[in-house]
């Protein structure tokens, strides 16, 4: 008996402090509104399950979000409020002074992800955001983007894919992901950073800064560290986390070195205005620090390639399972290509079905699917209805809005490009209206909406123009769609069989 009671009290002495700590660490703050709570294990499901984001959404999120418009969810080390009701989202996006951007550099500055992105134009607030926008905006929103380089890169991608198909054999499928990433990285380099990275057409790993991107993505979305970034405090104990910091630092240093070399060799009379030139000049004149230069270069590199990359992977899946859409789009493209083999921006933007397909792809596969990167600076009442305590993190889920039948009708989850209208003007009008209302948010909305939207739409349309003009494809019948588990909504890999069109 004394032995048992000694054992029991020893066990209690050992267990009680960690249990008390966990209870404190994991408790939902009392000031949170009365909303359904997503069980915490859903945030680390990836540890034992291979469920994709779409399956996780259907199983745990759809019903409470569609009924209540918001849920309480564990995200990046704290309970936060995830919103899907369009009028509440509009309130959040309009009132950036109240629901202020607060990315990982504020929330978890010690973490691997904060080392990667730092303080940048996307996640900064107030003075810093104004400073970065003042420097970079003109380079991100050039009125006319040169289509020659986009056409050239798109042709290179189609060459790479058709060569791969020839090497593999006509009846076996090829994986598109690696070439799509290389295309996206090369396009970003040429259009925003004045870097010719030339990764497309080269074996994997040849251009280290490009192949690092796959390692970075895999590192960031490790479920345990993504959901409990406080574990990064113990990186000195965890070799895999030490490696994660090393990878982020390698990317930082490589990019900085490349940009510095480019800037030194640059002909100052060259009129081409690039984000990297603008950031370089701001650094030279002391407007920004070296760290701010590095952080904004990295975010430009990341955001200007990975969203287009994910969207194109989704496009291969969607159009490869719906050959009817491909055929209709190909008709429009081939008719135009007869007169305009090297179409200008105006010609590309005048094609109605192409416009509708891209808008519909962004609705069903929003690459930036979920973000929780805003904090209430004051006690607030979201949409005049939902009390939000000061210091609470709030965010949004685009798939929740775009796939809600109450918002987009009973066919919300179906690909129906026709819903956008007949003419390009009608489509653009609907695009603008839905964005303002918070019902279509692939690029976010209002004050902090995407500054690369115009370029991204053009880039994707040009690729489709070139691709559909040269090949048709079907998704490998043996390939089962699996969506990514992380914050990006796209197929994990897409296997297709390509056939070159007869000219
Ligand atoms: C399909 C492609 C793209 C998608 C889906 C997309 C989506 C988004 C989204 C959802 C946001 C808001 C992020 C937030 O709320 O924190 C955003 C912001 C931003 N995006 Fe994009 N983006 C794309 C391409 C690009 C490109 C090519 C660039 C060029 C560098 C770019 C530059 C930016 C910038 C600078 C911001 C921050 C705007 C601000 O806060 O003032 N994006 N993007």
* Spatial distance between the Cα atoms of 420 and 363, rounded to a whole number of angstroms: 11
Backbone angles phi, psi at 48, to 5 degrees: -125, -5
Contact between residue 468 and residue 358 where contact means Cβ atoms under 8 Å apart: no
Residue 238 has pLDDT above 80, yes or no: yes
Backbone angles phi, psi at 46, to 5 degrees: -60, -15
Q: Which of 92, 303, 363, 398 to mutate to test the pocket of ligand 1 (most atoms within 8 A of CB)?
A: 303
pLDDT given for residue 144 in this prediction: 65
3-state secondary structure 292-304: HHHHHHHHHHHHH
Please work out whether the CB of residue 326 comes within 6 Å of at least one atom of ligand 1: no
Please work out whether the CB of residue 396 comes within 6 Å of at least one atom of ligand 1: no
What 3-state DSSP class applies to 380?
A: strand
* Spatial distance between the Cα atoms of 353 and 323, rounded to a whole number of angstroms: 15
Residue 132 has pLDDT above 70, yes or no: yes
- Asked if residue 365 is part of any domain, the answer here is yes
Closest CA to 398 of 61, 26, 17: 61
Q: How does pLDDT run across 411-467, given as a tens digit for each residue?
A: 999 999 999 999 999 999 999 999 999 999 999 999 999 999 999 999 999 999 999
pLDDT given for residue 146 in this prediction: 75
Q: Which of 90, 122, 181, 367 to mutate to test the pocket of ligand 1 (most atoms within 8 A of CB)?
A: 122
| Per-residue confidence band for 13, with pLDDT thresholds at 50, 70 and 90 | confident
Q: Ligand 1 centroid vs 3 CA: distance in angstroms?
A: 64
Q: How does pLDDT run across 162-216, given as a tens digit for each residue?
A: 999 999 997 899 999 999 999 999 999 999 999 999 999 999 999 999 999 999 9
pLDDT given for residue 489 in this prediction: 61
- Asked if residue 39 is part of any domain, the answer here is yes
- Asked if residue 4 is part of any domain, the answer here is no
Q: Ligand 1 centroid vs 124 CA: distance in angstroms?
A: 13
| Per-residue confidence band for 488, with pLDDT thresholds at 50, 70 and 90 | low
Residue 486: which domain range? 25-500
Q: Which residue has the higher pLDDT, 60 or 19?
A: 60
* Spatial distance between the Cα atoms of 217 and 80, rounded to a whole number of angstroms: 23
- Asked if residue 8 is part of any domain, the answer here is no
- Asked if residue 3 is part of any domain, the answer here is no
The mean per-residue pLDDT over the stretch 372-399 comes to 97
| Residue 47, strand partner residues | none
- Domain CATH code at residue 199: 1.10.630.10
Q: Ligand 1 centroid vs 298 CA: distance in angstroms?
A: 13
Supply the residue whose CA is at minimum distance from atom 7 of ligand 1.
443
Q: Which residue has the higher pLDDT, 293 or 493?
A: 293
Residue 297 has pLDDT above 60, yes or no: yes
Supply the residue whose CA is at minimum distance from atom 21 of ligand 1.
450
pLDDT given for residue 253 in this prediction: 98
Please work out whether the CB of residue 140 comes within 6 Å of at least one atom of ligand 1: yes
The closest-lying atom of ligand 1 relative to the alpha carbon of residue 300 is 30
Please work out whether the CB of residue 89 comes within 6 Å of at least one atom of ligand 1: no
Question: Where in 91-220 does DSSP place strands (E)?
Answer: 99-101, 174-175
450 known ligand binder: yes
The closest-lying atom of ligand 1 relative to the alpha carbon of residue 373 is 16
pLDDT given for residue 24 in this prediction: 84
pLDDT given for residue 81 in this prediction: 98
Q: Ligand 1 centroid vs 118 CA: distance in angstroms?
A: 16
Supply the residue whose CA is at minimum distance from atom 16 of ligand 1.
122
* Cβ neighbours, 10 Å, residue 477: 10
Please work out whether the CB of residue 448 comes within 6 Å of at least one atom of ligand 1: yes
Please work out whether the CB of residue 302 comes within 6 Å of at least one atom of ligand 1: no
- Asked if residue 224 is part of any domain, the answer here is yes
* Spatial distance between the Cα atoms of 338 and 147, rounded to a whole number of angstroms: 17
Tokens (6 digits) for 336: 């135009």
Q: How does pLDDT run across 338-362, given as a tens digit for each residue?
A: 999 999 999 999 999 999 999 999 9
The mean per-residue pLDDT over the stretch 254-258 comes to 98
What pTM does this model have?
A: 0.94
pLDDT given for residue 143 in this prediction: 67
- Asked if residue 10 is part of any domain, the answer here is no
Q: How does pLDDT run across 48-103, given as a tens digit for each residue?
A: 887 888 889 999 999 999 999 999 999 999 999 999 999 999 999 999 999 999 98
Please work out whether the CB of residue 308 comes within 6 Å of at least one atom of ligand 1: yes
Residue 284 has pLDDT above 70, yes or no: yes
Overall number of domains in the chain? 1
Q: DSSP assignment of 193-224, as one string?
A: I------TTSPTTSSHHHHHHHHHHHHHT-HH
In terms of phi and psi (left: phi > 0; alpha: psi -120 to 50; beta: otherwise), the region of 308 is alpha
Q: DSSP assignment of 261-272, as one string?
A: HHHHH--TT---
Closest CA to 323 of 503, 180, 499: 499
Please work out whether the CB of residue 187 comes within 6 Å of at least one atom of ligand 1: no
pLDDT given for residue 323 in this prediction: 96
Please work out whether the CB of residue 300 comes within 6 Å of at least one atom of ligand 1: yes
Longest Cα separation, the chain:
94
Q: Ligand 1 centroid vs 373 CA: distance in angstroms?
A: 14
Residue 485 has pLDDT above 70, yes or no: no
The closest-lying atom of ligand 1 relative to the alpha carbon of residue 192 is 30
Say which range, 61-75, 179-193, 269-283, 312-326, has the weakest mean pLDDT: 269-283
The mean per-residue pLDDT over the stretch 311-332 comes to 96
* Spatial distance between the Cα atoms of 57 and 189, rounded to a whole number of angstroms: 34
The mean per-residue pLDDT over the stretch 322-350 comes to 96
- Asked if residue 101 is part of any domain, the answer here is yes
Residue 487 has pLDDT above 70, yes or no: no
């Amino acid at each position: 008996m004394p032995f048992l009671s000694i054992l029991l009290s020893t066990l209690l002495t050992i267990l009680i402090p960690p249990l008390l700590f966990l209870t404190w660490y994991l408790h939902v703050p009392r000031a949170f509104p009365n909303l359904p709570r997503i069980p915490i294990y859903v945030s680390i499901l990836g540890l034992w399950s291979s469920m994709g984001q779409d399956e996780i959404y259907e199983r745990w999120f759809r019903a409470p979000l569609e009924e209540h418009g918001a849920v309480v969810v564990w995200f990046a080390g704290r309970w936060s409020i995830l919103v899907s009701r369009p009028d509440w989202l509009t309130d959040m996006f309009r009132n950036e002074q109240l629901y202020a951007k607060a990315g990982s550099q504020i929330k978890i500055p010690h973490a691997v992800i904060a080392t990667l992105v730092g303080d940048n134009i996307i996640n900064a607030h107030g003075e810093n955001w104004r400073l970065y926008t003042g420097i970079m905006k003109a380079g991100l929103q050039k009125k006319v983007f040169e289509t020659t380089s986009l056409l050239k890169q798109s042709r290179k991608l189609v060459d790479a894919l058709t060569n791969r198909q020839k090497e593999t054999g006509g009846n076996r499928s090829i994986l598109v992901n690696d070439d799509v990433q290389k295309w996206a990285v090369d396009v970003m380099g040429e259009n925003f950073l004045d870097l010719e990275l030339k990764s497309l057409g080269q074996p994997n790993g040849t251009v280290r800064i490009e192949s690092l991107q796959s390692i970075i993505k895999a590192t960031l979305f490790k479920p345990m560290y993504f959901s409990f970034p406080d574990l990064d405090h113990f990186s000195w104990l965890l070799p895999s986390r030490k490696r994660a910091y090393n990878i982020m630092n390698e990317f930082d240093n490589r990019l900085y070195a490349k940009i510095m070399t480019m800037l030194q060799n640059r002909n100052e009379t060259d009129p081409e205005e690039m984000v990297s030139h603008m950031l370089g000049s701001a650094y030279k004149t002391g407007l920004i620090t070296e760290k701010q230069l590095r952080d904004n270069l990295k975010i430009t590199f990341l955001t200007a390639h990975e969203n287009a990359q994910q969207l194109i992977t989704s496009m291969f899946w969607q159009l490869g399972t719906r050959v009817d859409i491909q055929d209709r789009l190909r008709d429009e493209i081939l008719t135009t290509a007869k007169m305009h083999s090297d179409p200008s921006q105006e010609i590309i933007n005048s094609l109605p079905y192409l416009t509708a397909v891209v808008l519909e792809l962004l609705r069903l596969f929003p690459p930036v699917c979920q973000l929780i990167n805003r904090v209430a600076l004051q006690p607030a009442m979201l949409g005049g209805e939902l009390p939000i305590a000061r210091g609470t993190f709030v965010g949004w889920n685009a798939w929740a809005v775009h796939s809600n039948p109450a918002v987009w009708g009973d066919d919300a989850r179906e690909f129906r490009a026709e819903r956008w209208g007949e003419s390009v003007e009608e489509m653009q009008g609907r695009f603008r209206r839905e964005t303002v209302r918070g019902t279509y948010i692939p690029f976010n909305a209002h004050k902090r909406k995407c500054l690369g939207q115009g370029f991204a739409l053009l880039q994707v349309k040009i690729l489709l123009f070139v691709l559909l003009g040269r090949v048709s494809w079907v998704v490998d019948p043996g390939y089962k769609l699996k969506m990514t588990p992380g914050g990006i909504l796209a197929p994990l890999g897409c296997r297709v069989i390509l056939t070159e069109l007869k000219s």
